[in-house]
Amino acid sequence: MTEAAITRTDAYQPRTIGFLKLHEAAGWRLKFYGITTTGAPPRPELVTVAEALVPSVLPSPAVHSGGDDPYDIDRYGIGYVILHEASDYAFAIFDWWAGENELHQRMYSSLPTRLGTMRPHPTSAIGCVWELAVSDFERRAWLRHVLARPEGPDIEGYLGERYEDEV
For residue 101, the model assigns a pLDDT of: 96
26 within some domain: yes
146 within some domain: yes
11 within some domain: no
Give pLDDT tens digits for 73-128: 999 999 999 999 999 999 999 999 999 999 999 999 999 999 999 999 999 999 99
Sign of the alpha-carbon dihedral angle for 121, 123, 128, 133: positive
Task: List the beta bridge partners of residue 76.
Answer: 63
Total number of domains constituting the chain: 1
Establish how many alpha carbons lie within 13 A of residue 40's alpha carbon, considering only the half-sphere containing its beta carbon.
5
Helix spans in 75-128 (H): none
3 within some domain: no
Give pLDDT tens digits for 2-32: 888 888 877 889 999 999 999 999 999 999 9
2 within some domain: no
57 — pLDDT class (breaks 50, 70, 90): very high
Domain that residue 129 falls in: 16-166
Residues 130/167, Cβ–Cβ less than 8 Å: yes
104 within some domain: yes
130 — pLDDT class (breaks 50, 70, 90): very high
23 within some domain: yes
CA distance 18 to 10: 23
Torsion angles phi and psi, residue 115, rounded to 5: -60, -35
Q: How much is the average pLDDT of 145-166?
A: 97
6 within some domain: no
